[in-house]
Amino acid sequence: MAIDTDFNDDYVTKQMAFAVPPPPAATVVFGPALDQARAFARMLATRGVERGLIGPREVPRLWDRHLLNCAVVADLIDSRYRTLADIGSGAGLPGLVLAMMRPELSVTLLEPMERRCRFLSECVAELGLPNASVLRGRAEETVLRADVATARAVAPLDRLAEMAVRVVRPGGMVLAIKGRTAADELRKARPVLRRIGARNAQVVRAGEGKVDPATTVVRFFAR
């Protein structure tokens, strides 16, 4: 996911990167991956801002709005799943975070823009994530058959659903991280979901009791 830049002040941004500590919930949610999450937060707040992947105004809320919001999605992925494709990975949200949280998962960060792919590749190398790889391309054009597809702020659900079913195996799970519009998007997407044979589409919440607010996700399964 990429977040538009609001303004650019390198000095202020870099100071903020080290001044914003993780909230107490981060210790519980990230557990042994907390050091990697801290390092990723610094990358987002410095290089991520400099390269226009996130806006400086997002830096003070990196943990609550972005990192924790993505991390709790791991609760929806049980041990039967072994491969994950993150569609339009952008700044690595949620793909890189899920790779930290679930080292047994093989995570493909699918991203069409070269500059974002470079950033993602740097993060994978520096965070030491052997289970993550970067693939430049679009969901509509690539050949992937992952167990799980994830996406955050990529497209409205009706469009995203058609992308996602191209990168998951039959019966694979799609997790679309959404906000307050989730139920409305799901209602509007019902005709598309029926056409593509999606099953059990519903709004679920991840991280209840761990983060506030919990993360809102539209979950469905491919034909």
> Rounded CA gap, 158 and 65, in Å?
24
Crossing angle of helices 34-43 and 10-19, in 10° steps, is: 170
Residue-level pLDDT, tens digit, the chain, 223 residues: 544 444 444 544 454 545 478 999 999 999 999 999 999 999 999 999 999 999 999 999 999 999 999 999 999 999 999 999 999 999 999 999 999 999 999 999 999 999 999 999 999 999 999 999 999 999 988 889 999 999 998 999 999 999 999 999 999 999 999 998 999 999 999 999 999 999 999 999 999 999 999 999 999 999 8
**If you compute the radius of gyration of the chain from its CA atoms, what whole number of angstroms results?**
16
- 37 by DSSP, 3-state: which? helix
